[in-house]
Structure 1
Amino acid sequence: MIRQFINGVCMAMADSVPGVSGGTIAFILGFYDKFIGSINDLIYEKGDKRKQAFLFLIKLGVGWVFGMIAAVLVLSSAFESQIYFVSSLFMGFIIASIPLVLKQEKESFIGHYGNVVAAVIGAAVVCLITMLNQSSFMTGIQLDSLSIPLAIYIFIAGMIAISAMFLPGISGSTLLLIFGLYMPVITGIKEFLHLNLSVFPGLCIFGLGVIAGALSVVKGIKICLDRFRSKTMYMILGLMIGSLYAIMMGPTTLDVPKDALSFHNFSFIAFIIGIAIVAGLQFMGKKKEVAFNE
């Protein structure tokens, strides 16, 4: 229970800031297949499979909700005021994670080198999305001032953003920035937590889009993991490599844009902390596995 709660908190904190996906965290911590499989079982299976999936997702979901509330109330402001520290932290997180992914899925990588094309495509997709973010075409959206076209736009954006959050390397928050919805959604959640109900209809529409996106994308991911695992792993590796560029450009996505992450503003301390977090989480996972086997 504690383990899944912590996993959910980590996913939420990654989902809340542009540049890193909750799917990346799930993959790094070793429960990505179970995460996708549980959502698939909850939607499409019956009986014990659905019950087990529900219990797993409830444990994970409680942590995710707690982490997201904490992120909205605390990390959203820290993301702006300490952007270079946060970006350096996630840089360390991703760089330390790539060798672990290669080790965990070595059977999918070794001998399947032709699939490196999928990795190149994955990295290119993330870089392209990040570049589009620099020219976001929607500004001034207010969740408390809805119209029918805006409601449709928010619904579609929610579908696309949650689809990205399920994929390691593509940040749903970055896509929300491109759609001009990142700050409106974060601000809307914060206002709702302070009992401002005027944003509730807009948040509901966004939530319905998220549900629709989840229903439509999970089955496809499950099929890819089961039938085309090597190509999918190479694609995920490319997405993670591409996310390094997304993190580097993160400061340019703020309301008041700052310079991209560089050697001049890079925080070596945060970078080391990011590596240490990955090492610590992996150590915890191994201890749990040993205890389970005993």
Structure 2
Amino acid sequence: MTNKFIEPILIFIRGLFMGSADIIPGVSGGTIALITGIYERLVHAIGKINFKFIKPLFKGDFSEFKRSFLDEIDFQLFIPLLLGIAIAMLTLSKVISFLLEDYTAITFAFFLGLILASSYVLYKQIVHFSPKIILISIIGFVLAYIFVGLNPIATNHTLPVLFLSGMVAICAMILPGISGAFILLLLGQYHYMLNALNSFNLVEVITFCVGALIGILGFSKLLDYLLQHHEEITLALLIGIMIGTLRIPVNQITTNIGGSLFDIAFCVILMIVGFALIVLLEMKFKYIE
């Protein structure tokens, strides 16, 4: 069991990994949360927020407000986790933009390894296999494969559109296997929000974050219910979705890779490195917990 000093540091590290994943199209921060053993706690903690602590505040009962506030919100989880996510997204946004622009094939080869390993980690958590589990995985695969093949929607960047984009993207970000960044790409908002983050455009970033907050508070309750009552069916669907989303990195690699043997070998090596990184990460956090 980790002591009170080590636990926030481990949660902060998880946040760094999640923030790094959430900014990458095709990789899910929810997957990182799952393989590092914090996913169910995170979903439950978000779903637990009902804002009931506001009621005693209107009545002037500050002691009850404080008690309800501290009881309803898991600050020991949210503070280090959100801090890690924010730092990762702010520091890596420029790096990811550069890699995707100038080293597309090898970057997506690394992402391919990450997604393959993440689906493998999910696969290990299913204990009771059945034809229904396999069928649900196939359905998830087909839906994801079709969905990621859609062309980005041409849309504007007004504040209401950014608000709605935040609501939709955050639901994907918390799901293992579904990339919130890719949802933004489909909505035509990914590069725009990446530039807004790089240039510290606070109005647009805050508008997006408010939409994300409202979206995640509602969606997490449904997800918490599914994990509590239909865990293996939910995991089977997510495995299919993750494998279906491999269409993104495969298309990017085949389109942008050079013809030399070195280019192909380098992509294969980075794919293996990405796969090994996730497996080692999952093993390390399982050992720590």
Task: Please give the TM-score of this superposition, normalised by the length of structure 2.
Answer: 0.82
Residue from 122, 126, 130 that aligns with 1:106: 126
Matches within 5 A, 1:55-74: 55-74=76-95
Instruction: Name the counterpart of 2:24.
Output: 17
- Secondary structure of the 1:3 match is helix
Alignment CA distance shift 1:114-1:287 (3 Å): closer
Instruction: Name the counterpart of 1:207.
Output: 209
Give, in whole Å, the separation in 2 of the partners of 1:62 and 1:227.
31
Residue from 43, 47, 50 that aligns with 2:72: 50
**Structure 2: 5+ residue stretches without partners:** 1-7, 53-67
Pairing 1:80–2:88 present = no
Residue from 110, 118, 139 that aligns with 1:121: 139
Give, in whole Å, the separation in 2 of the partners of 1:232 and 1:57.
24
Alignment CA distance shift 1:217-1:36 (3 Å): same
Alignment CA distance shift 1:125-1:54 (3 Å): farther
Pairing 1:137–2:153 present = yes
Matches within 5 A, 1:20-31: 20-31=27-38
Q: Render the CA deviation track for 1:76-104: whole Å, top value 9, x for unaligned.
A: 2122222222211121122223333222x
Q: Structure 2 counterpart of 1:209, which letter?
A: G
Task: Please give the TM-score of this superposition, normalised by the length of structure 1.
Answer: 0.81
Q: CA deviation at 1:221?
A: 0.3
Q: Render the CA deviation track for 1:209-261: whole Å, top value 9, x for unaligned.
A: 1111112210000011111112111111112111212222346xxxxxx9167
Q: Which moved more, 1:217-226 or 1:204-213?
A: 204-213
What is the root-mean-square deviation of aligned Cα atoms in Å?
Answer: 2.4
Q: CA deviation at 1:15?
A: 0.8
Q: Render the CA deviation track for 1:21-65: whole Å, top value 9, x for unaligned.
A: 1111112222211121121224468466535x2211211111111
Where has structure 1 moved over 6 Å in runs of 4 or more?
A: 261-264
- Secondary structure of the 1:259 match is helix
Residue from 234, 237, 245 that aligns with 1:235: 237
Instruction: Name the counterpart of 1:282.
Output: 282
**Structure 1: 5+ residue stretches without partners:** 143-149, 193-198, 252-257, 290-294
Structure exhibiting the larger radius of gyration computed from Cα positions: 2
How many residue pairs align between the two structures? 263
Q: Structure 2 counterpart of 1:50, which letter?
A: E
Contact 1:116 1:234 in 2 (8 A): yes
Q: Which moved more, 1:111-120 or 1:272-281?
A: 111-120
Give, in whole Å, the separation in 2 of the partners of 1:44 and 1:221.
19
Q: Which moved more, 1:176-185 or 1:33-42?
A: 33-42
Q: Render the CA deviation track for 1:143-199: whole Å, top value 9, x for unaligned.
A: xxxxxxx3322221211111111111111111111111001101011111xxxxxx4
Identity of aligned residues (%): 29
Q: Structure 2 counterpart of 1:67, which letter?
A: A
Instruction: Name the counterpart of 1:221.
Output: 223
Instruction: Name the counterpart of 1:168.
Output: 176
- Secondary structure of the 2:75 match is helix
